Amino acid sequence: NAGVTQTPKFQVLKTGQSMTLQCAQDMNHEYMSWYRQDPGMGLRLIHYSVGAGITDQGEVPNGYNVSRSTTEDFPLRLLSAAPSQTSVYFCASSLTGTGGNQPQHFGDGTRLSIL
Amino acid sequence: AQSVTQLGSHVSVSEGALVLLRCNYSSSVPPYLFWYVQYPNQGLQLLLKYTTGATLVKGINGFEAEFKKSETSFHLTKPSAHMSDAAEYFCAVRGAGGNSKLTFGKGITLSVRP
């Protein structure tokens, strides 16, 4: 059972470039989310989805887009990369969005540097 | 709105000593509380969670936490630290029901001295 898989693990971009961070889960989880982790800031929610076709903004959504066309996949798109988006990005999933007792399962992260 | 406070960014203990990592939360609804651990260059792994029922929760690797509603706290403890416990620890809160989001504290780095 692969769990939550994120690709790529590392990426370097130039300012203004766009890219997509991939996230896939094989646990049939309804709820998926993207976080960014910065030193001293903990994890901050970027976008989340409670099911296929439904997405919503988190705490820091600016500069990022998401879509959820299938239950398994939840890609995160950087539209025009900026140095402030240098961070470690984590994708997570849980069985449902409602019923907050469901723990989230995390991928291993994507380390993104914007030059 | 909900929030989590983890005071301090770094805790250092000797091997075999008690580990105590503090977490205080605020939530307008009965909360679900979680502790996650992150080892270097890895994702977050669930240590333990409090949902309902017994307020003393046991997790993996000998860790436990006690939910104290009157103190709005969910401190993480381990009686005897091991070198392998060195990692970053995150406390998180999630409200019950609805599309409740998981809110994380800023994290605490635990160092274990030989």
- DSSP code of residue B54: -
Binary contact (A104, B97; C-beta < 8 A): no
Residue type (1 letter), A40: G
Kindly give the pairing relationship between strand A4-7 and strand A19-25. antiparallel
Bridge partners for A37 per DSSP: A43, A88
Kindly give the pairing relationship between strand A87-94 and strand A31-38. antiparallel
- Interval A3-57: pLDDT, tens: 999 999 999 999 999 999 999 999 999 999 999 999 888 899 999 998 999 999 9
Closest CA–CA distance from residue A108 to any residue of chain B (Å): 4
- Interval A63-100: pLDDT, tens: 999 999 999 999 999 999 999 999 999 999 988 765 56
Binary contact (B95, A40; C-beta < 8 A): no
Q: What is the pLDDT along chain B (114 residues), one digit of tens a residue?
A: 788 999 889 999 999 999 999 999 987 777 889 999 999 888 999 999 998 888 899 999 999 999 998 999 999 999 999 999 999 999 999 876 655 778 899 999 999 999
A39 vs B: CB within 8 A: no
A vs B, Cβ pairs < 8 A, gives 68
CB contacts of A44 in chain B (<8 Å) are 104
Nearest CB to B34; choose among A56, A90, A103:
A103
Closest CA–CA distance from residue A39 to any residue of chain B (Å): 8
What is the C-alpha separation between A49 and A52, in angstroms, rounded?
Answer: 7
Who contacts B53 (Cβ-Cβ below 8 Å, separation ≥6)?
Answer: none
Q: What b-and-e string marks burial along B20-50, b requiring 16 or more CB atoms within 10 Å of the CB?
A: ebbbbbebeeebbbbbbbbeeeebbebbbbb
**What percentage of chain A carries pLDDT values higher than 90?**
83
Binary contact (B32, A4; C-beta < 8 A): no
- Closest residue in B to A9 (Cα–Cα): B41
Two tokens at B108? 């605490």
| Residue among A54, A19, A45, A58 at smallest CA distance from A106 | A45
Q: Which helix (H) or strand (E) holds A43?
A: strand A42-51
Rounded to 5 degrees, φ, ψ at B46 are -70, 125
Residue of B6, B36, B44 to mutate for A, most A C-beta atoms under 10 A = B44
Nearest CB to A98; choose among B52, B98, B107:
B98
